[in-house]
Structures are given as structure tokens and as C-alpha cells.
Chain A
Amino acid sequence: MNPHNRNRLLALGIVLIAAAATATWLYLGASPATPVARSADAGSTDTGMATTPQRTATAPAAKVTKKRAGPIHTASAGPALPPPDAPLAQVYADLKTRADAGDAQAASRLYRDVGRCLHTRDVLANQSRAASWMLEDDTSGLDADQLARRERRLGTIEDELAKARANSGLCEGATPAELQLAPVALRAAQLGDVQAADCYVSAGLTAGGGLLDHPEWLQDYKANALSLANSAVEQGDWTMVNQLQRAYAQSSGAGLLAQVTGGDPSQAYAYLKLRSLGAVTPQGNSFLSRQLADAAQNLPADAVTQGDTWAQNAYQQYFGANPQINTPRGFNPCQNIGAD
């Protein structure tokens, strides 16, 4: 091969690789990966399914920002955000306008400020009452360990109350409408905030009030939740892996997401397999292995194979920077927002 032909082939190869990469990026961008086809297709012999993500949900109302693996705070450039100690009532309108226009930083800030005020309100309403009841408890029958635990608990409540009282000034004057979490969580999630997506998908409609007056939020949820969930998985989010697994398994407490996904043992198996790959401890791995064995018993061999293949691919593709499950047991994504 002469040098001229070699150079032409090299150039052609570069163009083809670039085209393939662009096509792959566009394809993945438009269609978040899901593990396998719906159960109705589980018996299909198309084993390529595991590496060819399929849509299982309607398109999101707004396109999810792709591949923002780093913290949201470093994402889009825009005007400087208000200082951290600015009261929500003073900055809400500006942040909302910027978020509506696509400013990811403003959307995330608004989500966190609203979440912080909701948490502050809940702590002030509940924790002083909890302390009041604890102080009235009869402690005469408690041993030293129990007394020590009680003291630690009371100390924790006092700390939470002090923090909430300090934050309460940031939340004064905020209207009930400004404390509705669902719309700000959705917007931040659509602009790539994975933590907002975790909250929105899990309990975002119910955590902050307003649903009774906004039944249209249900339609928004149906249109967006699954796409946001799939996108979060692609960004290596173990919390969302857990949510999707529980939703497809129709587990207790799986919430509204389970109503969107419906039950699907094949999908539940695939996400369970993915979780097993990220297990941190031998006990956790052993536990998940047992769960997998139980789940596999009720599936066709093809579905198990597809689920295993998809999980392995997803683990390598999306969780390279985050290989171990980092979601605490019982984690509530809508609790204590903005505390970090």
C-alpha cells in the first residue's frame, strides 16, 4: 500500500470512527439505557438486546442533559448565584426564571434552597415535640446503655433544632407555593442534577406539598420519571439503580415509580444483578447472590442471560468511577436536602 492510499484509509477510518461515536452518543442521548425488553419479550432469542438499550417510557418533556458526571455545581456557566445565606423569598423569582431558561446551577440551587426550608420546617415542627415526649418518658427501668443512647438521641435532637433555628431566617417569608418541591426538583433533574432526580423519582411529588392542587403533576411524572431514572443510572447513580430494581419488583414502598414501570421480573433481575456487581461487603454480596438465585428461578434462561449481560455492560460503562454501592441502607433522597 502506497503512502497516499494509506493516508486516505487512515482519514476514512477516522471519519468512520467519529461518525460511529457521534451516532452512538446521539442514540444514547435520545434513549436512556434499560436492561432488557419488557417481560413479554423476555423469551426472545435476540440476545443482542442487552447491549442495545430500548425505550420503555414516553419521551421526557425536556431533554435530559447528557453525561454530566461531575458535580452539578461545575456545570453550565452563567451569572453568579446569590450568596448562600440569601433568604429564599428574596432569590426565588430570579432563580426560577434562570432555571426555566435552562440554567442548571440556578435550578440546582433553587432545589436545594427549597429542600432546606422544608427540612427546617419539619425539624422545628417535629423534633421539639419528639424531645418533649422523650423528656416525659419514665427512665427508671433503663440500664446504663439505654440511658446513654437516650442522651445521645436527645443531644442529636438539640443539635438539629439549633441548626434548624439558625436556618429558619433563610426561609422566612417563603410562600407555600415557593415551598413546593416537585416542580423545582423536576426542573433541576431535567437539567442534569442527579440528586434532584433521585428525589423527584422517589417521593418528589409528595414530599413538599401542593399535589392536591396540582393533579397535572401526575402527568408530568408519568412523562418524565422513567427517562430521568434511566439517565441517572447512566451517570453511575446507585440510588436510582435501587429505586428501579424495587419498582420493577413492585416492592413494598416502591412509590409512584412502581406505577410507571409496572411489575417486570426480567427488569427487576437485571437491576438486582447490577446491584450485586456493586456490593461492598461479602455479606452484601452473599445476600444479593441469594436474591438473584431466587429471582432467576422464575425467569426463562434467556432473560437471565440477557439480564446478566446488560448488568455487566452497564457496570463497566456507567460505574467505572463509582464501582461500589454508596447509598446508605434506608436512604431517603428527599430528606435533609441542602444539608450538604
Chain B
Amino acid sequence: MVQKTDRRKPGRIVFASAALLVAVAFCAWYLRDDSAVRQPMGTTTADGGAARGPSRDSAVHGRGAARMTPTAASRAADSASLPPPGTSLAKIYDDLKARADGGDKEAASRLFTEAQHCFSARQEVRMLPRSANFFLEEDTSKLSAEELSQREKHLANLEQRLAKVRAESALCEGLSDEQLQLAPIALQAAQLGDAAASDCYVSGILLYSGGLLDHPEWLAQYKSNAMTIAQAALERGDWRMVAALRNAYGETLSVVPLGQLTGGDAVQYYRYLKLQQLGATDKNAAAIGRELADAAQSLTAADQNAGDAWAQEMYSRFFGGTPDPVDQNNQMSACYL
């Protein structure tokens, strides 16, 4: 070995040293930006310790292979001003899309928010008149005074909503059905770090909102990206994502793609439930405690201890040790359709 080292040329040693420095720098960058990806999540390990996270490969699969952390180029692009609020989406769609494709997080978020809003408004414009008509045709002869009053309030509310939606949907005119296919738009915004898009995309409900029959590749993209996006959201302290994963591992939302992706897992279910308990408000604490006790019955003591330690670590590290300020069981509220 010594002889071999002695025979090396000085240039090769310099080269090796430079390579080592690059590797160290890469590791430092990697640990700073992507430590999240290796945090406990996903399949339960046999050692009772923290579960492994999704592989690094999953972070770069799928359309655009966007990184979870904005690049320097995207940060520069972010600085370009967005179109003023109240601009017709049809007029700015292509520009926002091009900027999002270039890594502009603000443009991607704006595109997702407005496309989701327009999708929802289009649905409501179709639905609300039917609801109002149904009430208007209802036989009211046997209603009490209080019921009549409630009915009038409900009708007034419907009328207000319809007027509001019609006014808002004026900004959504001229958009094709393809432009309002939300799954790819949400994926892009989520990959660039948008919290609402992440919650919505990871639930998988957007896959069903239009276009899937002509885009079966969305299923593979979802499988490749959802857990990576979920992990990043957890590391931003996203309580909605905690609830979503708890529901998925607990098989309480088996219809939703996230539940199909994770499958049922009693150990993971316990961990996310424990994390929820740590962040529970007074209102929720008792019910979560009851569920946690039920969940613990099917686990070994080692699994419970490891789950408790994992949850405490997550709570301290990513959630600031502070309770969830809102109803953490309402994960789907980020994904109105």
C-alpha cells in the first residue's frame, strides 16, 4: 500500500484532494437541504426505530424532476412580479405556466390557486341553480315558522353564493377543460414548496377531478412523488399532512389514493396519532387519547416506545413544540373542489 501511494504523481494527489473537497461540500449541501428526505416516514423498520423515508430517487422522478427546494435560478425568477390580482386567468395562463415550468414557485402557486378556484367556480355555477330550484319547488305548506325562516335564510345564502360565484367566474372565462386539469398543476406547485398544493396533491383527490382517463401516466407520477412531497410538508410543520398520513395508515380514507399508496400500517398509524396527540388542543386531546389507546393495543411495547420517541422528535424538530392551532382532522379542507 505504501509503495503504491509513493508512486502517485503530485497532480493526482491534488486532483484527489479537490475531489474530496467537492464531495465534502456536496455532503454539507445535501445535509442542509435534504435532511428531511431521510427522516422517519414510510415503511416501518424492523428495529423499532424510526421508519425509513422515501428513497432520494423519488424526489427527482416524474414530470420536470423539480427539486423540493427552489434553485438559485428559481429564486431569481421568483423576483419577477406576478400579474395583478383580478386578471383573467385565460390571459395569464400561458405566462404563469411557462414561469412555473422554469421553477418559479410564486407563479406555480398562483397558477394552482387560480386554476383550483376556477375549477370550483365552474362546478358551483352548474350546481347552485339546481339546489336553489329544488328549494323553490319544495312544498312549504307543512313547515313551521322556524323551518320557514331557516329555509329563507338558506335560499338567501344560496342566492348570495351564486351571485358571488358568477362574478368571480367572469375571471375564469375562456379556459379549456385541459387548462383546468388540476393534477399536474398541483404537482408542480407542490414540488416547488407550495403548502396547499402539497396537501391537495398528496391526498390524491385531484387525480379524479378531470383528465385521468387520458393521462394514465399521472398514476405513476403520483406514486413517485406523493411521499416525497408529504415528507417535505411534514418538515414544514404541516399538521394537515400529519392528519392525512394518520388517516391513510389507519385505512380511514381507503378510497383516496393516499390510502392506497400507503396501505394500512398499525405502527405508522400509531406514530402519526401520537404526533397528533402531542399537538392536540384541549378540544381534541381526549378523543385522540382514546384513539391512541385503541391503536396501542395491537402493538408491542417496543413499537409503542419507538413510536413515542419518533413522534416526540418530530414534534420538537419540525413543529416547534407548539400545538396545532386549527382543526387538524380537517385535512381535506385544503383541497376544495
Contacts and interface: CB of A to CB of B under 8 A. Distances in A.
Given A132-B287, A132-B291, A286-B137, 7 more contacts: A118-B254, A129-B250, A211-B260, A252-B126, A256-B212, A256-B213, A287-B137
Interface of A: 118, 121-122, 125-126, 128-129, 132-133, 135-136, 176, 203, 206-207, 209-212, 215-216, 218-219, 221-222, 249-252, 255-256, 259-260, 282-283, 286-287, 290-291, 294
B220 A215 contact: yes
B263 interface: yes
Contacts of B26: none
Contacts of B263: 176
Nearest to A179: B254
B257 interface: yes
Interface in B106-164: 123-124, 126-127, 129-130, 133-134, 136-139
9 contacts: A121-B251, A206-B255, A211-B260, A221-B213, A249-B126, A255-B208, A283-B137, A290-B137, A291-B130
B257 A212 contact: yes
A126 B255 contact: no
B219 A283 contact: no
Contacts of B250: 125, 129
- Majority secondary structure of chain A interface residues (helix, strand, loop or mixed): helix
A55 to B, nearest CB: 19
B184 to A, nearest CB: 15
Contacts, number: 84
Contacts of B223: 212
A287 B257 contact: no
B90 interface: no
Interface of B: 123-124, 126-127, 129-130, 133-134, 136-139, 208, 210-214, 216-217, 219-220, 222-223, 250-252, 254-255, 257, 259-261, 263, 286-287, 290-291, 294
B87 to A, nearest CB: 26
A122 B247 CA distance: 12
Contact of B133 (A206, A259, A260, A290): A290
B216 A252 contact: no
Could you say which of B214, B250, B260 has the most chain A C-beta atoms within 10 Å of its C-beta?
B260
Contact of B252 (A129, A135, A207, A210): A129
Contacts of B127: 251-252
Contacts of B252: 125-126, 129
Given A283-B137, A291-B130, A212 B123 contact: no
Contacts of A206: 208, 255
B130, B222, B223, B259 interface centre (most CB from chain A within 10 Å): B130
Nearest to B285: A136
A216 B336 CA distance: 28
A255 B222 CA distance: 19
A328 B291 CA distance: 34
Given A136-B290, A290-B137, A215 B216 contact: yes
A144 B251 CA distance: 35
B137, B208, B211 interface centre (most CB from chain A within 10 Å)? B137
A106 to B, nearest CB: 26
A221 B219 CA distance: 15
A211 B219 contact: yes
B138 to A, nearest CB: 6
Nearest to B128: A252
A260 B213 contact: yes
B246 to A, nearest CB: 10
B255 A259 contact: no
Nearest to B125: A252
A122 B250 CA distance: 10
B293 to A, nearest CB: 10
Contacts of A128: 294
A259 B212 contact: yes
Nearest to B135: A287
Nearest to B263: A176
Nearest to A217: B216
A339 B116 CA distance: 37
Nearest to B124: A252
Contacts of B210: 259
Contacts of B138: 283
B219 A215 contact: yes
A114 to B, nearest CB: 13
A294 B134 CA distance: 13
Contacts of B213: 218, 221-222, 256, 259-260
B254 A125 contact: yes
A127 B96 CA distance: 44
Contacts of A259: 210-214
B262 to A, nearest CB: 11
A2 B215 CA distance: 71
A215 B137 CA distance: 44
Contacts of B130: 291
Nearest to A256: B213
Given A129-B291, A255-B208, A294-B129, A211 B257 contact: yes
Contacts of A133: 287
